[in-house]
Amino acid sequence: MVLNLREHVGESAYDVVTPSYILIVDPQRSALLSDHLKQFARTKNINSILYVPLNVGEEITHFMTFDALDQRKRYDEDEIEVFLFF
């Protein structure tokens, strides 16, 4: 399982879940990430993660993942729109 979406209960200051994307604003504080992914984000200096689901019909088969590194805090709405366009 990539994300703990079954345990997702609603709005959070650390992640944004929409039908089009999932934005992890703070990987260390997000309840959606496993401890293994949090450790990976910490060692690679990943400050934000954008997951874009790829659908085949109604089924999500893959995710494209974009990591914001080092000092970058998060993706803004314009950047997310560009990723969704591709």
**pLDDT grade for 76, boundaries at 50, 70 and 90:** confident
List of E strands, 4-83:
15-17, 22-24, 46-56, 59-69
pTM: 0.78
Whether 58 is covered by a domain: the verdict is yes
Q: To the nearest whole number, what is the mean pLDDT of the chain?
A: 83
Residues 1-26: tens digit of each pLDDT: 456 655 556 678 898 888 888 999 99
Whether 80 is covered by a domain: the verdict is no
Q: What is the pLDDT of residue 36?
A: 93
Whether 78 is covered by a domain: the verdict is no
By residue count, the chain amounts to 86
Give the count of domains, the chain: 1
Q: Please determine, for residue 82, whether its predicted confidence score (pLDDT) is greater than 90.
A: no
Q: Token pair of 58, please?
A: 């109604």
Whether 86 is covered by a domain: the verdict is no
Tally the C-alpha atoms within 13 A of residue 59's C-alpha that lie toward its C-beta. 2
Whether 12 is covered by a domain: the verdict is yes
Whether 34 is covered by a domain: the verdict is yes
Range of the domain at 24: 5-70
